[in-house]
Chain A
Amino acid sequence: MQPLANITPLKPAGAIEVRNVGQIFKTTTQDVVALEDVSLDVKPGRFVVLVGPSGCGKSTLLMMMAGLRQQTSGTITISGAPIPEPDPNRVGVVFQEASLFPWLTAEENVEFPLALRGVTKNDRRARAQDALKLVGLDGFGKRHPHELSGGMKQRVSIARGLVQDPPVLLMDEPFAALDEQTRMTMGDELLRIWAATGKTVVFVTHSLTEAVYLADEVIVMSPRPGRIVDHLQVSLPRPRTYEMLSGDAFGSLRDRIWRHIRKSA
């Protein structure tokens, strides 16, 4: 008897499907509903941003897509298959600044996921070089994280997420710890990398400006229990430019998100 999953048609690489997902955290005193009935479709190659006030479960949802946490109910599939545990061939994850290994050089950090899989040294080095070149860090491979600026560290982190060429890149507030100017530059850099690679990106942020500036689609979430309250299409042309930030289209999108968030905060 064939298992049913084998005869369902495979979704194209990079598609994310979230169906009726719920998450309940049990504490000693009560059960906290972190997510309730969240459904969401991300088409391959789209740039989707999750926004919402603290505690709305957007990071939790991202961790589930990464296979780092399991939902209490519902299903999540990446490229058509469930993700019961992390799979760097399907999903790359970029965290906040602190997640580079400080005892490794930049290129060793990028090679780390390959080393876990026993890829040979030469092969590893070559692929790490390509990934570092892609994020604009050619020639910085021998430096340790403490010798790199905040923006450069985050570039290394993105290179590490991309080194196995997964169709999906998940980013959990990757620029939150950066200063304003670096943050703007990194946003443009990320869009360039995204355009060059065609990855599906799901990006969590607190910044509404960043959300509208980067996204094809913005998903707005509300807390207690975490659920999706709006799903916006951002139809601003690409490439995005700094001048768009002051335009009416940009302003009205940001206002619409802000009204949702103000209501629930």
Chain B
Amino acid sequence: MSAATLRRLIVIGLIVLWEILPRAGFIPELFLPSLSSTLAAGWNEAGEYGHALAVTLYEVAISMAFACGGGILLGAIVGSLPRPRILIMPMVSSLYAVPLVILYPVFTVWLGIGSESKIAFASIYGFLPTMLATAAGIQTIDPQLLLAARSMGATLSQRLVRVIIPAAIPTVLSGLRVGGALVIVGVVVSEMLISSAGIGYLISRYRTILDSPHVFAGVLLVLAMAIAFNAAIKWIERKAAIWQTGTRAGQDSAGEVAPTALQPAT
């Protein structure tokens, strides 16, 4: 049996257990409502969940543009120029250890409890790994490749477009994978903390009234969002970094995102 088949079987097994265990009474419905009652709860409030999903997706999209755009831009500068690197890198490294979630209450004071504070928090949250990965990607380009390009008469801009950017793409994409996942975490967590809309807010609100099926319906939605994001990144990796197939990209990295992404938030 191949690893992929086995993996699918495990997922199916977990889904079946999710349905059977609460129904058979092994687990109280309050702790884990059965899959069918979770789906039913979500379906009955489809309008509410749809609205929450739209809010969350909007916040995720804007934050991702800020985090990834800013991260790639600053990462490229820091990676290619030594002077900004010396200035910025020590700050970034020490910032990396700070649980950024402490900034969120400050953002709500500055920007209110609407989408703006979530976007600000999630952008900063996803920005650092993207920037660090881009900087590393550009710094670790094989100098032999640049020398070879120069020997063929490549100008500075030709080296940038034809060598530096394609050579950095795989590392930048792995940065986007982590950065983008952190953006989703940032948005959902901040919605759960102080908010008036979004999936995180719904989960948090239903939890306070101990309505487990509705809580888990929200959890399912977040799960689906993360899986969709991961699939999108994989698709881009396959399109853009075709030369990496056979080495590393596109293999088995799906499982790594959630744990690494969740760690700093808790």
- Footprint of B on A, CB under 8 Å? 66-68, 85-88, 91, 93, 95-96, 98-99, 101-104, 112-113, 115-117, 144-147, 160
Say whether, besides A113-B152, A113-B153, A146-B247, A103 and B242 are in contact (CB < 8 Å). Answer: yes
**Contact between B246 and A88, CB atoms less than 8 A apart:** no
How long is the Cα–Cα vector from A112 to B161 in the complex, in angstroms?
Answer: 13
Nearest opposing residue in chain B for A164, CB measure: B152
The one of B147, B153, B169, B241 in contact with A116, judged by C-beta atoms closer than 8 angstroms, is: B153
Residues from chain A with Cβ under 8 Å of B149 in the complex = 112
Assess whether B152 is in contact with A95, with CB atoms less than 8 Å apart. Answer: no
How far apart are the CA atoms of A146 and B248 in the complex, in Å?
12
Contact call B147/A101, Cβ cutoff below 8 A: no
Are A146 and B246 touching (Cβ within 8 A)?
yes
A93 to chain B, nearest CB (A): 4
Beta-carbon contact of B152 and A66 below 8 Å: no
Point out the residues of chain A lying under 8 angstroms from B167, CB to CB: 101, 103
Count of B interface residues, CB-CB < 8 Å = 24
Residues of the A chain whose Cβ atoms lie less than 8 Å from the Cβ of B93: none
On whether the beta carbons of B153 and A117 are closer than 8 Å, the reply is: yes
Residues in A neighbouring B151, C-beta threshold 8 A: 66-68, 86, 88, 91, 93, 95
| A113 to B247 CA separation, bound complex (whole angstroms) | 27
By secondary structure, the B interface counts as helix
**With known contacts A98-B142, A103-B167, A93–B153 Cβ distance under 8 A:** no
Using known A-B contacts A86-B153, A88-B152, A113-B152, determine if residue A68 contacts B243 with beta carbons closer than 8 Å: no
Partner of B147, one of A95, A103, A115: A95
Task: Tell me the minimal C-beta distance from A28 to chain B in angstroms.
Answer: 15
Q: Provide the residues of chain B in CB contact with A104, threshold 8 Å.
A: 243
Closest 10 CB pairs of A and B: A113-B152, A103-B243, A99-B148, A93-B151, A99-B144, A98-B144, A103-B166, A102-B243, A86-B151, A88-B153
Residues of B contacting A144 with CB < 8 Å?
A: 242-243
B23 CB to closest chain A CB (Å) equals 51
User: What A residues does B147 contact at CB under 8 A?
Assistant: 68, 95, 99
20 example contacts (A-B, Cβ-Cβ < 8 A) are as follows A68-B147, A86-B150, A86-B151, A86-B153, A88-B153, A91-B151, A95-B147, A95-B148, A98-B144, A99-B147, A101-B145, A101-B166, A102-B244, A103-B167, A103-B242, A103-B243, A113-B152, A116-B152, A116-B158, A147-B246
A100, B150: Cα distance in complex, Å: 13
Q: Which residues of A contact B243 (CB under 8 A)?
A: 102-104, 144-146
Give the distance in Å from the alpha carbon of A113 to the alpha carbon of B151 in the complex: 9
